[in-house]
Amino acid sequence: MQKNNYTKVIPCLMGFFLLLLAGLLPIKATSHQGENQNFVLEHVQDAHSWHFATISGQHITFYLPIILYSSDRGIECFSSALFYDPSTSFRGYALINEKVCCLDPGRCVYDFSITKNIAAMFLSVGLLMIGLLLAAKKYRKRPLATPKGYCSAIECIVLFIKNEVAIPNIGQQHHERFLPYLLTVFFFILLNNLLGLVPGGANVTGSISVTLVLAAFTVLITIFSGNKHYWSHIFKPKGVPTWLLPILIPVELLGILTKFFSLMVRLFANITAGHIILLSIIGLIFITKNIYIGFVVSLPFGTFMLLLKLLVAVLQAYVFTLLSAIYFGQAVHEG
């Protein structure tokens, strides 16, 4: 394995993360009326605090910073803990259904707050950078030594993505161009999927904003990497009568949008559905208030769903990476 594979992933990962944040922000703070969501949706949606656990009635919660901007007040920063009293408003703002609401309808306020999903992305990107840099450092020290333990596992993943995903679908000639992105997106989705299974974890890949940006990356790279054969297949395919082109060209262009929506919805729907089903099974204990339901229904089915979600976490990272490689291969294929 080339020892610069890891170092190529780091700058790609940083730009990747910054553009993800750009996809999530800014969000306009608006007025809102409505009731609180049920506990299942509260666990899968984004929030301005990070609740880890409840022990002996005490909530272990990390309150995240609220960052607002308005033309009249400029930048305002304060803790979201000031909002988590149902009767509390602060500086003319209130937090309703995890949305910062401006109580003055005449003001235009933009919300740049660090939410739970954004904090979780900071954590996952930090872990990836530390892990990959450590692996790269060990390879530099002993480039000819057989990797062991952690480095061996990383090498297996890198070689699998290269030999089983990139080369077969993109080709030997062009796969090196796209390998850093494919490794980045695989590690990023896999780690966030796994962290979402940890109690108190965030549902990052179950956020439509995150999957939207991930899908947009793949589609934009495909579009800008397309060669003349790729575009001629869309606008002037061989053997197609001229009178049929006005019908065929919109269909081909629609296919590009279909790739975008399929990537976005597949990851979002699978991860979110798994969380909702698992939480619903666990919630049966509290709904029925029957300990036997927990042992007979919730425990076995919950364990099965957790193991299934573990499989889905790996599978969805692989599927997203595989489809991205297929799209890149179509863009650079010669003839």
Q: How far apart are CA 43 and CA 38, in angstroms?
A: 9
Which residue, of 78, 111, 144, is where some domain finishes?
111
pLDDT digits (tens, 9 = 90+) for 1-22: 444 555 555 556 555 555 555 4
pLDDT at 7: 53
- Asked if residue 303 and residue 165 are part of one domain, the reply reads yes
Q: Which pLDDT tens digit goes with each residue over 303-333?
A: 888 889 899 999 999 999 999 999 999 888 8
**Contact predicate 197/306, CB 8 Å:** yes
Strands (E), the chain: 27-29, 49-55, 58-63, 65-70, 74-79, 93-96, 99-102, 109-111
Q: What is d(CA 84, CA 63) in angstroms, rounded to the nearest whole number?
A: 9
Same domain, 104 and 122: no
At 278 the pLDDT is 82
Residue 319: predicted pLDDT: 94
Give Dmax (Cα) for the chain. 74
- pLDDT (0 to 100) of residue 237: 77
**Domain boundaries, position 191:** 5-16+118-332
pLDDT at 73: 84
196 and 281 together in one domain? yes
Q: Is residue 21 part of a domain?
A: no
Residue 144 has pLDDT above 80, yes or no: no
If asked whether residues 171 and 237 sit together in one domain, one would say yes
The predicted pLDDT at position 335 comes to 65
Q: Is the pLDDT of residue 35 over 70?
A: no
Other residues' Cβ atoms within 10 Å of the Cβ of residue 254: 10
Give whichever of 45-59, 137-151, 209-223 has the largest mean pLDDT: 209-223
Task: Indicate the SS3 state at residue 219.
Answer: helix
Q: Are residues 182 and 291 in the same domain?
A: yes
Express each pLDDT in 210-255 by its tens digit: 999 999 999 999 999 888 888 888 888 777 788 888 888 888 888 8
Q: What is the mean pLDDT of residues 271-278?
A: 86
Q: Are residues 275 and 173 in the same domain?
A: yes
Contacts of 45 (CB under 8 A, 6+ apart): 37, 98, 203
Q: Which residues contact 276 (CB under 8 A, 6 or more apart)?
A: 40, 44
